[in-house]
Structure 1
């Protein structure tokens, strides 16, 4: 049994992780939690029977009653909280992105190398059963002719307002902490984009490290990193990103758009000469929606379409089970922090290519 401490009890904790953890009681105990809002911490800990509310991250990390930390704090704190937990001999599962800057990530990776604790990044799309089945059936790299990756979505609130209620702070987060968080994120954004970067670029980088990180990390899992970013465009104030990736004998196309039309089109299409794999992810804010994997095979005289699924097991469920297996049984850790360095490199290359087209 892994005694789990939660850092951050916001939207992702309330709508995604806690409902799943409540079903995994044979694996995890909700041993503690911290949130900068005392009202949120008290409300959520009561609702989900979390054993103890801590008054600081440091206090929870230092507790002998905690084995592992699930980090769901604001992105700019991920590296800091993960390093502190690892130094205290805690395992960590870090919600994506692992870190916002290469410097922060390098510091974290250095700590990981000095410990035997598990550090895993929460790229849950890479744990989806349909994705794993697609990976097993992927054509040989030399045979791939075309790849398209899409993230064209409406944000989560449109969905979860119909199914659940998110507890929000009652103006009880200390002003000093809000200012510290703002300044820390600003410093990190300046480090990546340069001082006084246009708001459009800052928004685009937030999209890349947020929504896009799921798909681009999954793309690397399937195909490896591209040789280069051929071109990129950032439009709509940073909420629309289009990029072309050079994979040698084929180009991968990435389309991202966050808008107000209600849809969730997030998925992959991978073609070889005679075959096609395609799958789409549903919104993560509604539990256990189905995924399918379409496999098309064509010849000069015939064509067939096979649909595998529906797969109803939640990717977050698979991810948490994988974390538990890594901690308790030495299971494979497919998403360590060091692996995220390629993601930050790719985000930087997209930003650089977009700047060249301005």
Structure 2
């Protein structure tokens, strides 16, 4: 049996909390004890406390920060609160798991790292890039390692409305808005405005709605695939070769070099967009001369869907071979929370650190600098 259970306080009780994290924490009661939930809506917090049998429901973050019975703060709020809440938790000596993205700007990301460096009790930050904890990702990386030279890669995140999947998830999330103070909405808008200004290096009145949408989509949906790209292809690209925008559909070409051999260049194409078709087309594909490997993710809102690796290659007989591998049915969120426990209790090295997540923010900055001017017309 584990030597101890970590006591958790959750901030933010929206869909991802009610459909994913709170149920998963409840299934891992040998590792975690969820003792408090906090949300800007008292009704939403109370609903979650009732459904998931959590003793404390509050709208006051300070209640969680001051509690000696909380070891870990899980930040599931909207993006503009990730940095201030993570910093506050670190100052209180609490470990932090913050859902991706870490934040939207390099400046606020560095604030989190500075707070972590000075945190009492050795408090650390774990960033929730759950796709990077899928068992099949290890298989994908193993198969990539057998490709002597990468010729091309593709990263795609094209999905339909999350509500379609959530409605069939078996969960019935409830969110209340009639008790949210107007001051809270104003504060949220102000924080988002400041982050967008920092990210773009422009005044808010200089930012078009298209630019605001682009930055927010990169952080929300984009951070999944772009973080995977960094891990699987060996870090940041050398450059952004080209960028195109069509409505809310975005395509970017990255210049990469092989991390082995003679460092030959190759292109990675990144595609993302959201429409009204209920699909989840999320994958990373890597192509070599005689072998290509693809990892495919399905919606995380339906628990237990397979994450598969598909391989196409030529065998020694000159025949085309196709096969798929699924390394298990344990969902990536469960594996992620098990890893968080191992990092805190068993002192295992953190993989998805705040410093690692800062690389995404550097990549966002590279992409923002290549945002096509013609899209503003």
TM-score range, shorter chain: over 0.9
Stretches of structure 2 that go unaligned for 5 or more consecutive residues are 258-264
Stretches of structure 1 that go unaligned for 5 or more consecutive residues are none
Q: Indicate the larger mover: 297-306 or 315-324.
A: 297-306
Output one character per residue of 1:121-177: Cα deviation in whole Å (capped at 9) or x when no partner: 001111111112212222368611110111111021011123432211140011111
State yes or no: 1:153 paired with 2:162: no
Output one character per residue of 1:163-196: Cα deviation in whole Å (capped at 9) or x when no partner: 4322111400111111111111112112222222
Question: 2 CA distance for matches of 1:251 and 1:281?
Answer: 22
Output one character per residue of 1:329-356: Cα deviation in whole Å (capped at 9) or x when no partner: 0112101111112111111211221235
Output one character per residue of 1:194-228: Cα deviation in whole Å (capped at 9) or x when no partner: 22211011111111000010100010011111000
Relative to structure 1, is the Cα distance of residues 47 and 303 closer, same or farther in structure 2, using a 3 angstrom cutoff? same
TM-score (norm 1): 0.96
TM-score (norm 2): 0.91
Aligned counterpart for 2:185 among listed residues 141, 165, 178: 178
Relative to structure 1, is the Cα distance of residues 154 and 61 closer, same or farther in structure 2, using a 3 angstrom cutoff? same
Question: 2 CA distance for matches of 1:346 and 1:93?
Answer: 22
RMSD of Structure 2 on Structure 1 (CA)? 1.5
Question: 1 CA distance for matches of 2:133 and 2:159?
Answer: 20
Relative to structure 1, is the Cα distance of residues 140 and 354 closer, same or farther in structure 2, using a 3 angstrom cutoff? farther
Which residue of the partner structure matches residue 215 of structure 1? 225
Which residue of the partner structure matches residue 314 of structure 2? 298
Q: Indicate the larger mover: 332-341 or 301-310.
A: 301-310
Deviation of residue 53 (structure 1)? 1.6
The answer to whether the 8 A contact 1:292-1:311 is kept is: no
Relative to structure 1, is the Cα distance of residues 357 and 139 closer, same or farther in structure 2, using a 3 angstrom cutoff? farther
Output one character per residue of 1:246-269: Cα deviation in whole Å (capped at 9) or x when no partner: 003110001101001121100011
The answer to whether the 8 A contact 2:152-2:268 is kept is: yes
Which residue of the partner structure matches residue 17 of structure 1? 21
Q: Matches of residues 42-57 of structure 1 in structure 2 within 5 Å?
A: 42-57=46-61
Question: 2 CA distance for matches of 1:235 and 1:303?
Answer: 36
The answer to whether the 8 A contact 1:76-1:181 is kept is: yes
Aligned counterpart for 1:324 among listed residues 341, 344, 366: 341
Question: 2 CA distance for matches of 1:86 and 1:141?
Answer: 42
The answer to whether the 8 A contact 2:41-2:59 is kept is: no
State yes or no: 1:138 paired with 2:138: no
Which residue of the partner structure matches residue 243 of structure 2? 232
The answer to whether the 8 A contact 1:139-1:272 is kept is: no
Which residue of the partner structure matches residue 109 of structure 1? 113
Q: Matches of residues 55-134 of structure 1 in structure 2 within 5 Å?
A: 55-115=59-119, 116-134=122-140
Question: 2 CA distance for matches of 1:268 and 1:304?
Answer: 19
Question: 1 CA distance for matches of 2:348 and 2:143?
Answer: 23
The answer to whether the 8 A contact 1:322-1:332 is kept is: no
Question: 1 CA distance for matches of 2:288 and 2:225?
Answer: 20
Question: 1 CA distance for matches of 2:296 and 2:331?
Answer: 14
Question: 1 CA distance for matches of 2:103 and 2:114?
Answer: 13
Deviation of residue 46 (structure 1)? 0.6
Deviation of residue 8 (structure 1)? 0.6
